[in-house]
A and B are shown apart, each in its own frame.
Chain A
Amino acid sequence: MKAFTKHKGVAAPMDRANVDTDLIIPKQFLKSIKRSGFGPNLFDELRYLDEGQPGQDHSKRPLNPDFPLNHPRYQGASVLLARKNFGCGSSREHAPWALDDHGFRAIIAPSFADIFFNNCFKNGLLPIVVAEEVVDQLFAEMYAEEGYALVVDLEEQVVVKPNGETIAFEVDAFRKHCLLHGLDDIGLTLEDADDIRAYEAKRREQAPWLFDAVK
């Protein structure tokens, strides 16, 4: 996994509550057996005026001129400002894959859905929870100033605004550690292989039926 330490990037809006993972990446693109290449289909139904299909040349499709991510001022944006309950619905990890592939490194919202939130950390994408009033303020400032860029400093756990003001945020110690160092958590868990084997042996005695294979 790629590491996340400190990142500066232009902020872009996804200004609606309860954005579900179907909206982030529609079902027809989940047929891919790869982890990459989902970027052109991020928010596909909002971004384009037609229905997208896998394998198409998406650069030739008609863009929706009303969708902010299509506006010149948000090109190259890498920090997404979002609303409550971002990433609800399906557990598809294709959602963070699409956000990452499009170039987003951090998402700031008042709340996230549990599974999506967790999936982000596995992909070097940092979801940041801040109070709703603070998010409102960030949206207002971003709309007012073209090129509005934020610095996200994971080590210090702060978002730094263009005027130098800082917003502190919380992050789990373990997730922070993994992100800062780009660690593979499977490798870390396997360091505890002896504990897993010991648990398994004990459990096999207490509840042997759990170890009967399905054939």
Chain B
Amino acid sequence: MGHPQNKKQTLYDKLWQDHLVKSREDGTALIYIDRHLIHEVTSPQAFEGLRLAGRKPWRTDSVVATPDHNVPSHAEERAGGIEGIVDEVSRIQVKTLNENCEDFGIVEFGINDPGQGIVHVIGPETGATLPGMTVVCGDSHTSTHGALGALAHGIGTSEVEHVMATQCLIQKKMKNMLVRVDGELGPGVTAKDVVLAIIGKIGTAGGTGYAIEFGGSAIRSMSMEGRMTVCNMAIEAGARAGMVAVDDITLEYVKGKPYAPKGEMWELAVANWSRLHSDDGAHFDAVVELNAEDIEPQVSWGTSPEMVVPVSALVPSPADESDATKKAGIERALEYMGLEAGQKITDIQLDRVFIGSCTNSRIEDLRAAAAVAKGHKKAESVKQVLVVPGSQSVKAQAEKEGLDKVFIEAGFEWREPSCSMCLAMNADKLGAGEHCASTSNRNFEGRQGYGGRTHLVSPSMAAAAAIAGHFVDVREMQEVA
């Protein structure tokens, strides 16, 4: 095909090549899928499609299911299992997943199973998702698993059905983008701030059509949890897939996970995974560079993740924007958010705080929030602070470390694993007009509740805001403490 032998490849090129079943003349390709994660919201119509066409899943052992979006976070409601879910429509959806998994012989970590959790939290933590895999799920935040050095992205429900029936996806190869963050992050600056700063720089469509590899010394020195936070929000920069090369930190994380290979198989796998990085001199269609030292704690002020500024900044003014579409967007966002141009970010008063979601509900996130909350109380003016661990396993670990007590003593609520207020499909919602400091991934209109106003921040910034009642620079708070 005119490609030289030994062509230098990016990580994405390698993952693509490894999973290429067939290239077709029309430019599409069949890509083999190793792991298919499913949840209750985007799978029922796919199972129905299989039934109507009389098709069977190609490889049931590649599919792992768990309910996460609709399950209650409140311990009392949760204790009743599926039948205890008060919202009838939610109950039917969770029940339908359960029935479909039974009918088709698919492994499901049910509502109160010790393996249950947000699908993007349980994949890596159990070893169900591994380096070098192709991972899909009917959920855009599937990009999270790319942190392991996997090719992972969200798909629609028709594709869920397609993967179940054929174990493949029809794809066109994406372009390669490298986002390089070099240098050392300052104290109080986290992976969440890095990814928000990236989105602020390239915009919500900046990565459209690309697979993004995150690299540079700041990414290399991040923990796996941090890398997952960064890859999780690749989709908020428009890229379906985000990924990080495999290194010792990856291997250390994966080793010993329940479904990770063991013994000789581990050695074989590690030998294979050692090539999962971009070759020196590999071609990227786009390169974006950020300096870690320049990144401050971030706060989103508007209704799109690209509407984000450092905590020390002011709410932007439409008068400073020359592009007419962007200007209109800023005006609309200010109106929806009830903010004034030029207002200090630290003057935004908060009604609720949410610490959780597939972006920031892992043990490290909870430790960071607890470190800030310890010995403090939530502000009187803040109605509710929800802390929702990402999985049963994260919850158990946090309780072992006493983090739950730190939160409860601070007046925060310690909840059951679920997506919760990230998208308000269970009972956890914002009221109209309420401002929320949230560790989730989307500040879209109505996302966390009808008329709700979301500000995206890191877990430590969220905890600091809960205590102060308004945004504060967590770095100042930690100095005081």
Contacts and interface: CB of A to CB of B under 8 A. Distances in A.
Contact of A214 (B26, B64, B332, B450): B64
B69 to A, nearest CB: 8
A196 B32 contact: yes
B446 A186 contact: no
Nearest to B25: A173
Interface stretch (B157-165, B353-361, B457-465): B157-165
9 contacts: A33-B96, A89-B140, A93-B157, A172-B27, A184-B53, A199-B22, A207-B132, A209-B261, A209-B265
A119 B156 contact: yes
Contacts of B371: none
Given A113-B208, A209-B130, A84 B325 contact: yes
Interface in A156-215: 172-174, 177, 184-186, 189-190, 192-193, 195-196, 199-200, 203, 206-215
A60 interface: no
B22 A123 contact: no
Contacts of B212: none
Contacts of A185: 162, 170
B75 to A, nearest CB: 22
B242 interface: no
A206 to B, nearest CB: 8
B155 interface: yes
Contacts of A83: 325
B22 A195 contact: yes
Interface string B355-387: 000000000000000000000000000000000
Given A16-B329, A88-B238, 11 more contacts: A16-B328, A28-B425, A90-B139, A91-B138, A96-B156, A118-B159, A186-B53, A195-B22, A207-B132, A208-B265, A210-B132
Contacts of A113: 205, 208, 238
A139 B442 CA distance: 29
Interface residues of A, number: 63
A20 interface: yes
Nearest to B207: A114
A122 B155 CA distance: 11
A115 B328 contact: no
A92 B204 CA distance: 17
Nearest to B63: A214
B413 interface: no
B146 to A, nearest CB: 15
A115 B140 contact: yes
B32 A200 contact: yes
Interface in B146-187: 153-159, 161-162, 165-168, 170, 172
Given A185-B162, A209-B268, A45 B446 contact: yes
B46 to A, nearest CB: 9
Interface of B: 21-22, 24, 26-28, 30, 32, 34, 41-42, 44-45, 48, 53, 55, 58, 61, 64, 69-70, 87, 89-90, 92-93, 96, 107, 126, 128, 130, 132-133, 138-140, 153-159, 161-162, 165-168, 170, 172, 204-205, 208-209, 235-236, 238-240, 259, 261, 265, 268-269, 272, 304, 325-326, 328-329, 332, 423-425, 432, 442, 444-447, 450-451
A115 B171 CA distance: 11
A111 interface: yes
B208 A85 contact: yes
Contact of A31 (B425, B442, B451): B425
Nearest to B328: A16
A186 B269 contact: no
Given A30-B425, A114-B240, A213 B45 contact: no
Contact of A122 (B159, B166, B205, B304): B159
A93 B45 CA distance: 10
A123 to B, nearest CB: 7
B450 A45 contact: yes
A90 B26 CA distance: 28
Contacts, number: 201
A61 interface: no
A207 B269 contact: yes
Contacts of B166: 186, 189-190, 193, 196
Nearest to A88: B204
Interface of A: 16-18, 20, 22-23, 26-28, 30-35, 45, 51, 54-55, 83-85, 88-93, 96, 111, 113-115, 118-119, 122-123, 172-174, 177, 184-186, 189-190, 192-193, 195-196, 199-200, 203, 206-215
A186 B162 contact: yes
A90 B155 CA distance: 10
A193 B442 CA distance: 39
A89 B234 CA distance: 11
Contacts of B130: 209-210
A155 to B, nearest CB: 16
A103 B232 CA distance: 34
A35 B447 contact: no
A199 B23 CA distance: 13
Kindly list the 4 A-B residue pairs having the minimum CB-CB distance in the complex, ordered from nearest.
A213-B61, A122-B158, A33-B44, A119-B156
A16 B259 CA distance: 46
Nearest to A85: B205
A72 B238 CA distance: 35
Contacts of A114: 208-209, 238-240
A34 B41 CA distance: 11
Nearest to B451: A51
Nearest to B153: A115
A93 B43 CA distance: 11
Contacts of A208: 265, 268
A91 B154 contact: yes
B444 A199 contact: no
B444 A89 contact: yes
A202 B393 CA distance: 35
Contact of B156 (A115, A174, A192, A211): A115
Contacts of A23: 444-446
Contacts of B58: 196
B122 to A, nearest CB: 10
A213 B258 CA distance: 11
